Structure 1
């Protein structure tokens, strides 16, 4: 079918160079019902026979198939280019139906998520409004394949829909759409559903950072008094001490105030999750450990995690065990992302199949130890503290 070839070409040409970029979306197949009955009279008036014998036609309702390629402009809004075909019957004005109608449509559509107005949430259901425009080409052919009538028009799209995110890479899509033919002033309708694939993960919501306040400068004049006291023993006389009562062990500046120093605190932690045989579902007993990892990653904003999946040598083939190990790693990443809000680009996954056992695969105990995910979490954060006299500043 012409649509399948075009969809495959779109995927092959764009997927490879864009795969590394977050927010690139592909809907390889959209299926829907194209409703044209409300425009029957207008079509019959417009679609006259090329032979000039006075016959006219209108298009029946039918199946719509399409494909779309898009890019996320924000975490909840994207722009898509969509191509689709409705291939159904045409009815001649005298009632004969031995005619084919093919309507090709290509359009550019904005899918504007309601979270743009209500704020981002962790809900898997993402409603959106669709607004777009494009071109429609309708051809009527007789039983021998000869074109007897047709029209090419500008169209506008307006619709309501929702995405249901299965995980960070896959979403189910459902939509109801109204199509307006601007050139001939008629309306058509469509209900469609499909699967959307996201390359590189969805864009992460941005967090607003409050503006930095200007430091306050103390312009108080300094008065030097002979034989002044130093009550806090920091080496600065009370009459010049802008920070009285400084603890004895704290290093102060010429104004008697503590000297700040930046120290770096490094994070390194490990996570181990074990799985049942031939399963990639995470057992409830490991969810608190995964939650602790998420808490630490929020505490260290620049931290990252490498999630490694492994399998025991019990599957039907090495390829099967490889896929199973990858699925286990992805399951841990999906829980960190979908349940605990960790950005996908901070998590990497890899599957090793059964190539890296930590115990013998000849015993059940050993195989249970090998059915695992091992994750290493690393990062650091810088904190400003008061410098003390016994502190070694690196």
Structure 2
């Protein structure tokens, strides 16, 4: 009887040890796909409504009715009574008609310019190298595509938003100020489905300043850095 008892105890101990060594596969919780969906929704959201997705927005709490850059931050820099503003708009090939996608943005720009009645507005027209074919320009009736693009911006401000023409100076930059592949990556460029380096050259640049009045008389290094290349390479025509 004693021997049988010992054998029974040994078998029982072996069973307990064996059970302790077993592993159990735990099924992943069914909520994981839900978390992934939440992350996807967050990546596609734009909580401050500035047109830049939260995933790449470096200024996530931009106030309403503010013009922002590609990072979601205000492009208008104000200090006391000072205004410095820059805008770049892109055009279809061989066109001087600014796409309607910019209409709402121009309303904000015009409102800000009107808040600073002493500010000057500088508009620079650019073209891509492949738009400088003389035969194509003659066929389409363009004397200077870069000038027409600058004038298109000016006419929009004057005729549609009441900005005084005498405050605006327009410049022909032709293709003398080229941008890099990584420049001007902003929501409007993507929204227009534009691609390639040539598309980035088909643009007009607007700059407004309450301090700078004459590009040929830039007094401070900061203004030279902002406006110097335009003063050097662009021709004032109106």
TM-score by length of 2: 0.45
Choose 1 or 2 for highest CA Rg. Answer: 1
Select the structure with the greater relative contact order (CA < 8 A; seq sep ≥ 6): 2
TM-score, structure 1 as length reference: 0.28
More strand by share: 1
Between Structure 1 and Structure 2, which shows a larger proportion of helix residues? 2
